[in-house]
Amino acid sequence: MLEGGSADAVRELKFRDPARARAMVDALTRLTVDIGRAPVSVMHVCGSHEQAIAKFGLRAVFPRALNVIMGPGCPVCITDTPEVDEGVVLARQGVHIATYGDMVRVPGTALSLADAQAEGAKIHVIYSAAQAVDLARSIRDDVVFFATGFETTAVATAAIVLNGVPDNFSILSAHKYIPPVMEIVAEMPQTRVEGFLAAGHAATITGWGVFEPFVARHKLPVVVAGFEPLDILAGLVKLLELIRDHTPQVSNMFPRCVTREGNLRAQDQLWKVFRPTGGRWRGIAHVPNGNLRLRDEFAHLDARRRFTIDLTSLWDYAPPLLAQSCICGDIMAGISSPSDCTLFGQECSPEKPVGACMVSSEGACRIWHQYGGHPDLRGVA
């Protein structure tokens, strides 16, 4: 129910029209029948896509033969424990940490930032990167911006760097870059993924052209989709069409925000400040070029160089050997399910998650743990 009823609000609503949504679901059903395999597995690589699918309850209406897998697209969930530990150690040293809300409860080896806060550390939840700079300007103490998120969010971090920051401000970059992990999923030998739904907001920055080499290499279709219910359904319809017709190509179903080149001004700023480097993603081991780190020209703003971050103080706690038994990568690739994991429900639970699939509120393992499987709401009343 919406108040106001302004023309703008009504217009927004057109991407939430239930009649069109039903038509698209019917189209999905027809397409899965045409394709003739069950399940047809596709993957999205965006936490916000999963949030939107969950929020609108779309899984209860997808045809049974369609398996939409949540890939490694939640930047917070795939932030590995050593990176969280870096933030925790700095916080315990008395540095003010400014970070996005998503990050605060993600556990490191021993503690999350929220736990550190309970011990007295100064953790500031911000909505915008600019607020971290404002904080540094308002106090004398050191402020570290624990910067998480994918390239879309890294753009904001780049903007504040280029705008100039006070001397007591530095950045601990845990930013990630999505295209490399699609490669890893596509290259897994037993992967069942037949196509990808690409994140519309990241593509707003990078452009859809960035997926062309991927499609040429792997012969898998990629559809760029937005986040309203109709956007997601339309994206899936298009993806299934491409799968049915064996036409691997990039298709842009989010033209109101995404172009082939993307936002060149944002890209320019992003790559001026950051460089891609390899790193570990929680549950997915090494992702070449998957991490974004500050370039040498900005070393003076790099918290890793400004401070000595000694992680050994946290090693008294249980070592992360468990991570080696984690099969989140296989779960995300559609090869395994949570119940196949030896850690599921035992060493790995929502209170003490090992892998990304358990960290995310929409992660496959988290949902299985909470509801004893994927709750089937098709038949509800």
Partner 1 sequence: MMRRGLVDDRLGLKYGAGGRAMRALVERVCLAGLGDVPVDGIGLAAMDDAAALRVGDRWLVITTDSHVVQPIFFPGGDIGRLAVSGTVNDLAMMGATEPLGLTCAIILEEGFSKADLERVYASIREACREAHAPIVTGDTKVMGRGELDGLVVNTTGVALCDRVVSDAGLHPGDVLIVTGTMGDHGMAIMAARHQLALEGDLRSDVAPINGLVRAALDAGGAGIVAMKDPTRGGLSSALHEMAEKGAVGILIEELAVPVRAATRAAADLLGIDPLVVANEGKAVIGVRPGAANAVLEAIRRHPLGGGAAIVGRCLSEHPGAVILDTGFGRRMLSEPEGELLPRIC
Partner 2 sequence: MCLGVPGKVVEINGKSATVDFWGVRRQVWLDVVDEPVAVGDYVLNHVGYAIRRIPDSEIGETLALYEELIKASEQDDLMAADVRAEIAATQEREDA
Kindly list the residues in this chain that would bind partner 1 in the complex (CB under 8 A): 1-4, 9, 16, 18, 21, 47-48, 51, 54-61, 74-76, 100-102, 104-105, 114-115, 117-119, 125-127, 131, 149, 153, 229, 350-351, 361, 370-371, 375, 377, 380-381
Smallest separation (angstroms) from partner 1 to the CB of 77: 9
What does the alpha-carbon distance between residue 243 and residue 145 come to, in Å, rounded to a whole number?
A: 43
Q: Does 15 bind partner 2 (CB under 8 A)?
A: yes
Contact residue for partner 2 among 171, 186, 197, 199 (CB under 8 A):
199
Contact residue for partner 2 among 255, 278, 372, 373 (CB under 8 A):
255
CA angle 315, 316, 321 (to 5 degrees): 60
Nearest CB to partner 2, comparing residues 163 and 312: 163
Smallest separation (angstroms) from partner 2 to the CB of 347: 28
Residue 82 CB neighbour total at 10 angstroms: 17
Residue 177: left (phi > 0), alpha (psi -120 to 50), or beta?
A: beta
From partner 1, partner 2, none, interface partner of 225 (C-beta below 5 to 8 A by class): none
Nearest CB to partner 1, comparing residues 180 and 350: 350
Nearest CB to partner 2, comparing residues 109 and 267: 267
From partner 1, partner 2, none, interface partner of 125 (C-beta below 5 to 8 A by class): partner 1
Q: CB–CB of 93/120 below 8 Å?
A: no
From partner 1, partner 2, none, interface partner of 26 (C-beta below 5 to 8 A by class): partner 2
Q: Does 246 bind partner 2 (CB under 8 A)?
A: no
From partner 2, partner 1, none, interface partner of 257 (C-beta below 5 to 8 A by class): partner 2
Nearest CB to partner 1, comparing residues 114 and 311: 114
Smallest separation (angstroms) from partner 2 to the CB of 47: 6
Contact residue for partner 2 among 1, 4, 190, 324 (CB under 8 A):
4
Contact residue for partner 2 among 97, 116, 230, 284 (CB under 8 A):
230
Residue 3 CB neighbour total at 10 angstroms: 6
Class of residue 88 by CB neighbours under 10 A (exposed 0-12, middle 13-18, buried 19+): buried
Q: Does 149 bind partner 2 (CB under 8 A)?
A: yes
Contact residue for partner 2 among 1, 8, 140, 379 (CB under 8 A):
8
Q: Does 363 bind partner 2 (CB under 8 A)?
A: no
Contact residue for partner 2 among 40, 42, 43, 46 (CB under 8 A):
46
> Which residues, listed in sequence order, are joined to residue 70 by a DSSP beta bridge?
44
Smallest separation (angstroms) from partner 2 to the CB of 322: 26
Going by their DSSP bridges, the two strands 96-100 and 123-126 should be labelled as parallel
What does the alpha-carbon distance between residue 347 and residue 335 come to, in Å, rounded to a whole number?
A: 21
Smallest separation (angstroms) from partner 1 to the CB of 169: 17
Residues that bind partner 2 (CB under 8 A): 4, 6, 8-12, 14-15, 17, 19-20, 22-24, 26-27, 30-31, 46-48, 51, 73-75, 100, 127-131, 149-153, 155-156, 159, 162-163, 178, 199-202, 204-205, 227, 230, 234, 237-238, 241, 253, 255-257, 263-266, 269
